[in-house]
């Protein structure tokens, strides 16, 4: 049977990295969840004593795609140079390589082999549709 190549897209980078920051390991929030799922999660907050509650920057549970070797230093947008990073790590690394920033990748980024998970579609957030089309998540990124 012929093998299928996994398209290099934002959605597939999120799937490959399992919605986890590749620098600190913080589990992120799925950006294409439905509003209803988020509303249910917000109604049931976890109670922790104040002194043990971790301090977080607003939006730190959000993930973004980071270039391991920054584009300013000649890095390309590819499976082997792009990883997920939380807002905190993304800001800390800035326009440097992980070595220059004193950070370590948890896993070396590689091109994934095709699995059925890469063919699945996720739910859209309806309120986002007027700002970001479905193509934002699925279009192949330039290499």
Q: Is residue 19 part of a domain?
A: yes
- The rounded distance, in Å, linking the Cα atoms of 9 and 133 is 14
pLDDT digits over 53-88, tens only?
444 443 446 899 999 999 999 999 999 999 999 999
Q: Within a domain: residue 42? A: no
Q: What is the 3-state secondary structure (H, E, C) of 70-102?
A: CHHHCCCCCCCCEEEEEHHHHHHHCCCCHHHHC
23, 52, 88, 90 from 70: Cα distances, Å = 15, 35, 17, 11
What pLDDT is recorded for position 123? Answer: 55
| Alpha-carbon distances, residue 14 vs 28, 45, 121 (angstroms) | 10, 25, 12
Q: Report which secondary-structure segment, H or E, holds 107.
A: none
Structure tokens given for 19:
């919605």
**For 108-124, how does the pLDDT look when each residue is reduced to its tens digit (9 = 90+)?**
999 998 766 656 555 55
Structural domain count, the chain: 1
Q: Give a yes or no: residue 120 inside a domain.
A: yes
User: Could you list the residue range(s) of the whole structural domain that residue 101 is in?
Assistant: 10-30+57-138
CATH at 66:
1.10.30
Residue 106 covered by a domain: yes
């Amino acid at each position: 049977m012929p093998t299928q190549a996994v398209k290099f897209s934002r959605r597939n980078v999120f799937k490959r990295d399992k919605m986890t920051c590749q620098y600190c390991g913080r589990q992120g929030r799925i950006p294409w969840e439905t509003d209803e799922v988020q509303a249910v999660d917000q109604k049931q907050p976890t109670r922790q004593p104040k002194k043990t509650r971790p301090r977080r920057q607003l939006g730190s549970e959000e993930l973004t795609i980071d270039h391991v070797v920054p584009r300013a230093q000649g890095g390309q947008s590819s499976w082997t140079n792009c990883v997920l990073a939380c807002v905190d790590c993304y800001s800390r690394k800035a326009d440097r390589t992980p070595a220059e920033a004193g950070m370590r990748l948890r896993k070396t980024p590689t091109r994934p082999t095709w699995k059925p998970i890469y063919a699945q579609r996720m739910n859209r957030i309806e309120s986002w549709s007027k700002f970001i089309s479905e193509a934002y998540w699925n279009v192949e990124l330039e290499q």
